[in-house]
Amino acid sequence: MILPRTPSFRLDGRSALVTGAGRGIGLALAAALAGAGAAVTLVARTGDEVEAAAAAIREAGGQATATTLDVADLDAVADFFAERPAFHILVNNAGTNRPKPMQDVTRDDYDAVLGLNLRSAFFVAQGCVQRMLADGVRGSLIHLGSQMGHVGGVDRSLYCASKWGLEGMSKGFALDLAAHGIRSNTIAPTFIETPLTRPYFEDAAFKARVLAKIKLGRVGTVEDLMGATLYLASDASALVTGTSIVVDGGWTAD
């Protein structure tokens, strides 16, 4: 009897791009891809931070380079992709949030959140895909969404708008690109403790409200997202496109 072989989660010989990779979730996902053998390019607005992140991955034995890039600058994004061969994997991670009631949202708030979370994500993916098509590269687009792209949230109208939009965007990409062997999916986390979110959890009432919704009883960590990223980046998910892996501890289950 010949047993089926489990598809490999290894990424040897593949290149990956991670945006917003200087710290937090982006750094963790870059480390996960490098640990599986990918050559990872980390980009972020802050040069010193992203250089240190890439250096840490190299010190751990991975392949990593750093580039300072503001993904909100679409001309710079276009130049970035024009100067490089195609990537096999994109992790569209850069994002922001301005939590406040919808009646208090300003035009500047709207432009900042939708501009980075959706507009920049779209054109980073487009730039990546155009190079993939030109070079005949098949691969995987992974967009960091949120549980708030599947439900609503108090003081999260802008964030929900951007992340629901990201879900629809990814499904559209999946249909456009399937014939080219390019997959598109999202990862939708619950609240993840990072340097950016840690101050929120110093508010005991806020933390209690969050924990009441997360059925597994704890706030997420960046490590909770690393396995899902490797799965979507690798051959293990070869038939997976146009969907979302919700890593929310059960938040959206009820």
Q: Give the active site residues.
A: 159
Q: Can you tell me the distance from the alpha carbon of 192 to that of 216, in angstroms, rounded to the nearest whole number?
A: 13
Q: Which of 97, 142, 96, 146 is nearest to 247 (CA)?
A: 146
Question: What does the CA dihedral 53, 74, 92, 47 come to, rounded to 10 degrees?
Answer: 10
Rg (CA), the chain: 18
Assess contact for 233 and 33: CB atoms under 8 A.
Answer: yes
Question: 68 and 43 in contact (C-beta within 8 Å)?
Answer: yes
* Residue located via tokens 């690393």: 226
**How far apart are the C-alpha atoms of 254 and 252, rounded to whole Å?**
6
- CA-nearest of 133, 153, 161 to 200 is 153
The tokens describing 124, both together, are 């980073």
Contact (Cβ atoms closer than 8 angstroms) between residue 32 and residue 10 = no
Three-state DSSP state, 21: coil
